[in-house]
Structure 1
Amino acid sequence: MWRWLMIGSALLLLSGCAGLLRVPGPEPECRGYLRELDRRVAAAGLHDGLGPPPAAYPYLRANRFLNSFEPELHQPELRRAWLDAGQALDQQARLRELAALPESSLHGLERPAGLPGHVLAVEQCAERLRRADRLDADDGPWPQAARALRIADDYRLWQRGVGLYPVTRWFIRAGVGRWQQRVRALFEADVAIVPPGLRYLPVLEPEAEQGRLYFTAAERDALGWPQLADEHWRLLFARFAPVIELDGAADHDRIGAPGLNPDGLPQVDTGLPSVYTYLSAVRFQSQTLVQLNYVWWFPERPEGDGFDLYAGRLDGLTLRLTLDAEATPLLVESMHNCGCYHQHYPLPGLQPKLRSTYAEPPLILPGPGPAETGLHLRLRQTSASHYVTHLTFAPLPDTGQVYQLRDYQELRQLAVSAGGPGSLFGRHGLVPGTERRERWLFWVSGVREPGAMRQAQRHTTAFVGRRHFDDADLLERIYQPVSH
């Protein structure tokens, strides 16, 4: 009898252990929590053009710059920095999503045990899952994570197939060539002689020059990214903030702060002149180069004479400066916020290769000269069409309206008049309601909605071949250092 009691007790003990083994640990709880959070964010329509993280690694997101390191991830220090950056991108996105989610969408969303508050749950779950997945280990599944995080190409092959792209691309390329000739004839690397109709100046920041010193002294991680405090980045943006001049003074030539009306369509408050900033990076000559991006918006591009292909709601420009390790600009670029009219203005120290590896040759114009202390980029745009016609480094003018520098991420969390915050950008990174008639001609290029305004990291900048504004090898494919 005692023998049977002992056997029965042992079986009960084993069954208890088995039950303990079946209890979900923190990792499955965290994975389920993040996936459910993503589901609710998607149901609320809060995933814009940058999208959700991959389902297998819901604590990581990427961009084309991070994608470029995939062949080098066997290096442990570089891999750790890569994972840190991907985790930071996801954290930023999730904090925005949590702030935008209405309380009703969070109702019933259970957090893992011991994690009070959704912000803490997001932070701690990322750490737990990264350890559980062993992505830092040399023999971990980081190759699978890198593949899952690849950014998709923004060109649609089916459009090119239906549009007989192998034939039609030659007509498009000829049209691009004619446009480039017209721009070359109109552009001058100097200050316009005729006074502008409108001028916008950055806020004068007495300590802006210190931004360059902080930048050059900063430590860099294994990816080559400077470790700077937010305040120091702000000073660097202030140092290079441009002077914006317009030929006209109509409402459609005034810059402002975008918002969404009750119908979810974009509008611009020109009573709040604003320029939005974000950081990006490019790789060149085995170095990581930081890029300062300045973005501004106009209410519209108005209808011109005749059948206007390019008119429509909202218009805008992105100005980008690529800096070397000493915070000296190497390249200035401008691009309309549709991804159209991408123009290059190289500075001393950089020269174009005889031939780039892009199918559509980039438009390279005379550079604005060296960025000497105390000088700011001074940029001139035409009325209505907002084409860039003059660009140079010059002293700050004495008069003009003052604009505020604002974080580009604000555009992903706008106040909607109908209630609740929402992104300016839709699921594919397009701004709703900004369609242009030119899409009827250029859809054969494979570009989604040609002419529509777009979100950063979703700009295609060529109709022939493939080119993105955020290509990590863009400089490498077009330029070489000036040999001394």
Structure 2
Amino acid sequence: MSRLHVAPFAGLLVLLLAGCATTSTPPRPLVPQGDDCLALFEQVDQRIEAAGVADAGYARIEGYPYLRSDRFSASFASEISDMDTFWEWVGYLRANEDEARDIELRNLGLDRQTASSTLIDLRGCGAWLRSWELDDKAFREHLLSVVTPPHEYSTVARTLGLYPLAKPFLNRGVREYQEEVLAEYAKPLDSLEAKGELVLWKARVSDEYAYETVDLSRKPRDRLGRIGMLGSEVIQMAQYHAPQLWIDTADDYDLPGQPTVGGGTPGVNVRKPVVYYLPGYTRFGGRNLLQISYFVWFDRHQSGDSAEGPLDGVIWRVTFDERGQPLMHDTIHACGCYHFAYPVRDMRRREVPDDRETMLFPQAQVPEGQITVRLKSGTHAVQRVLAADQARAAGGREYELQPYDELLLLPLPEGGTRSLFGPDGLVAGTERGERFWLWPSGVRSAGAMRQWGRHATTFVGQTHFDDPFLFETVLVAPPFEGPALAADPHAAEIPLMR
């Protein structure tokens, strides 16, 4: 190959590498016994990596092995103006690390005593390093600059896939699909095709918790606006607002269940009908609003096209106003695809460029309160959002609610546990044929099932389902009741819903 041909490609590689570069870490502050603690983190990380059990839900922060971030926590980095708020924020990052580390150690297969003592040692080292290292101004400021998790799009794929040239074709495909969805929603409800029996699934209700919503306006908040809620109140909210699932059931692949691991091809155990829930936050209209996401898993996506394959998942999310009433519903499949939004209250749409892909608003009127979600057979596409009492079904069944962390600790046939998701955040074996022709979009393995925090939701632009400002980009927040909720410095005395 001549120099004339090498030079342009070499220049391209330089640009790609430059785009991946990050600010260099300043000299690490001297910490008594700090080297021993850093060595412990490194040793444990090496074992976790070798075993393939690293958790991808929270982002590791290079240079800070005792902290992990997510997009909500990272969104405060440019807003912290005093040390009290800074240390509270660091506590959030520490809690992320502790949660992920506990999952990793349990999946590592250590005996209970070893896992417990290792976790205690790591927590002690994390608290020690945090107190000393982050007292250093340069090290502290560097943390604020690198805390944002990486995006879920491959710059290399977009560059080599000639993304600017592919963009019009990607946009056209998105528009054609969205037009088909709108046409389907324009049909009367009773005209929707049913391939099998319509089965109505409801969450099993526990008498331990009040069957009503929680008035969030009465709850204290910390300096980051996180809500002081008891664990029982989170469960109460999750139980009361869990969607009814009205599923066209033609075969076992339309039955919700518990995902299975360790047996080759991923699937679900339909003898254990489970829906998983995960609390979180969004930032909308200057407020931090509670969200609860529900995860429903099916044995396969049966569509007869390039999206078909083993394991399918639907994520249904409820965003609450300050009184604990649903403000917005939205949904994606567990691949990050098919982002539909259903505002309960009227909200003005923002103008967006014609060449930018956004979530779709397929239904004009959305009922308040508890709802029923109609799902299509095979593809499990959301076809309607109805009031809870509107569904009529030949059969009724119950599903059990479980916390999302159970997906990270699924039982192995030979004993022990393993996460549904790999260290890359994807579910191995769920690759789809569509990944080949959607490669120029930069979405890694488009169509594959993925872990929370790893959902890219658009093929044009860069959008993430867990972006705390996601709604702000397309909607103007409605007026909220009462004054803005101020931070409560005493909220730390109440268990915080992170």
Task: State the match for 1:421 in structure 2.
Answer: 417
Task: State the match for 1:302 in structure 2.
Answer: 302
Task: State the match for 2:151 in structure 1.
Answer: 153
Residue 470 of structure 1 pairs with residue 473 of structure 2: no
Residue 321 of structure 1 pairs with residue 315 of structure 2: no
- Count how many residue pairs are aligned between Structure 1 and Structure 2: 445
Return the alpha-carbon distance in structure 2 between the equivalents of residues 348 and 176 of structure 1.
Answer: 26
Per-residue CA deviation, residues 146-179 of structure 1 (Å, 9 max, x unaligned), is 2332200111111112221111110110111111
Kindly state the Cα deviation for residue 189 of structure 1 after the two structures are TM-superposed. 10
Alignment counterpart, residue 395 of structure 1, candidates 378, 381, 389: 389
Kindly state the Cα deviation for residue 209 of structure 1 after the two structures are TM-superposed. 4.0
Residue 346 of structure 1 pairs with residue 343 of structure 2: yes
> Which sections of structure 1, spanning at least 5 residues, go unmatched?
1-22, 110-115
Q: Is the contact made by 2:371 and 2:385 (CA closer than 8 Å) also made in structure 1? A: yes
Paired amino acid for 1:312 = G
Paired amino acid for 2:422 = G
Residue 234 of structure 1 pairs with residue 231 of structure 2: no
Per-residue CA deviation, residues 41-99 of structure 1 (Å, 9 max, x unaligned), is 11111113336633421111110111111111233232222111111111111111222
Alignment counterpart, residue 450 of structure 2, candidates 451, 454, 465: 454
Task: State the match for 1:366 in structure 2.
Answer: 363
Task: State the match for 1:61 in structure 2.
Answer: 68
The farther-off stretch of 468-477 and 72-81 is 72-81
With over 3 angstroms needed to count, the CA separation of the structure-2 counterparts of 1:144 and 1:190, relative to structure 1, is farther
Task: State the match for 1:83 in structure 2.
Answer: 90
Return the alpha-carbon distance in structure 2 between the equivalents of residues 24 and 142 of structure 1.
Answer: 15
With over 3 angstroms needed to count, the CA separation of the structure-2 counterparts of 1:358 and 1:394, relative to structure 1, is farther
Report the secondary structure of 1:58's partner residue. strand
Return the alpha-carbon distance in structure 1 between the equivalents of residues 221 and 465 of structure 2.
Answer: 24
Where does 1:125-140 land on structure 2 (aligned, <5 Å)?
125-135=125-135, 139=137
Task: State the match for 2:27 in structure 1.
Answer: none
Kindly state the Cα deviation for residue 183 of structure 1 after the two structures are TM-superposed. 0.5
The TM-score normalised by the length of structure 2 is 0.83
Report the secondary structure of 2:288's partner residue. strand
Report the secondary structure of 2:356's partner residue. coil
Report the secondary structure of 1:313's partner residue. strand
The farther-off stretch of 251-260 and 47-56 is 47-56
Task: State the match for 1:275 in structure 2.
Answer: 275
Q: Is the contact made by 1:259 and 1:424 (CA closer than 8 Å) also made in structure 2? A: yes
> Which sections of structure 2, spanning at least 5 residues, go unmatched?
1-29, 481-498
Q: Is the contact made by 1:189 and 1:392 (CA closer than 8 Å) also made in structure 2? A: no
Return the alpha-carbon distance in structure 1 between the equivalents of residues 210 and 190 of structure 2.
Answer: 26
The TM-score normalised by the length of structure 1 is 0.85
Larger radius of gyration: 1
Q: Is the contact made by 2:285 and 2:478 (CA closer than 8 Å) also made in structure 1? A: no
Paired amino acid for 2:38 = R
Q: Is the contact made by 1:358 and 1:467 (CA closer than 8 Å) also made in structure 2? A: no
Return the alpha-carbon distance in structure 2 between the equivalents of residues 56 and 189 of structure 1.
Answer: 55
Residue 379 of structure 1 pairs with residue 380 of structure 2: no
Task: State the match for 1:182 in structure 2.
Answer: 180
Report the secondary structure of 1:363's partner residue. coil
With over 3 angstroms needed to count, the CA separation of the structure-2 counterparts of 1:396 and 1:141, relative to structure 1, is farther
Per-residue CA deviation, residues 321-366 of structure 1 (Å, 9 max, x unaligned), is 1112111222110111111101011111433223379821321122
Return the alpha-carbon distance in structure 2 between the equivalents of residues 134 and 171 of structure 1.
Answer: 48
Per-residue CA deviation, residues 387-426 of structure 1 (Å, 9 max, x unaligned), is 1111023238796110011111111122222453211111
Report the secondary structure of 2:214's partner residue. helix
Per-residue CA deviation, residues 120-171 of structure 1 (Å, 9 max, x unaligned), is 2122222211111135x7x463221123322001111111122211111101
Kindly state the Cα deviation for residue 232 of structure 1 after the two structures are TM-superposed. 1.1
Return the alpha-carbon distance in structure 1 between the equivalents of residues 201 and 64 of structure 2.
Answer: 44
Residue 430 of structure 1 pairs with residue 426 of structure 2: yes
Q: Is the contact made by 1:190 and 1:368 (CA closer than 8 Å) also made in structure 2? A: no
